[in-house]
Amino acid sequence: MPLSEHEQRMLEQMERALYAEDPKFATALEGSGLRTYTRRRVYQAVAGFLVGIALLMAGMVAQQVWLSVVGFLVMLGCAVLAVTGWRKAPKPGEQPAAGAAPQPTGRQQRQKRSMMDRIDERWQRRRDEQQGGQ
């Protein structure tokens, strides 16, 4: 649930007060945020993917189908973790908003608006056609 405008202003005021009172602590908190966590998660997923490849190859060499299947599942799970972690990682210099959904970019907003405009136009046409047919 996104924050209201009043809550966002209050949060910004609290952040500014924190920076003013203890800038060293505020920058320490900022550096250990979501970006570091997601980067570590992606690295772990890549390492797990490599372990999955090793299990897959070992299963093929030992002619143990179940070991190959386990290796494949490990690879699949790690690939999903890596991709989701990579998508959620904020860009360098970008501040993730606390508790708020990411704002759509200009292109996404235009596409969304144009899609809504098309839906509205279709709705109007149908309504006009129904009223004209009655």
pLDDT digits (tens, 9 = 90+) for 34-82: 566 677 788 888 899 999 999 999 999 999 899 999 999 999 998 888 8
In a domain, 129, yes or no: no
107 has a pLDDT exceeding 50: yes
Quote the pLDDT of residue 110: 57
In a domain, 119, yes or no: no
In a domain, 53, yes or no: yes
In a domain, 124, yes or no: no
Range of the domain at 58: 8-91
Quote the pLDDT of residue 98: 47
Better-scored residue on pLDDT, 18 or 26? 18
Residue 49 makes CB contacts below 8 A (sequence gap 6+) with 74, 75, 78, 79, 82
Tell me the pLDDT band of 97, cut-offs 50, 70 and 90.
Answer: very low
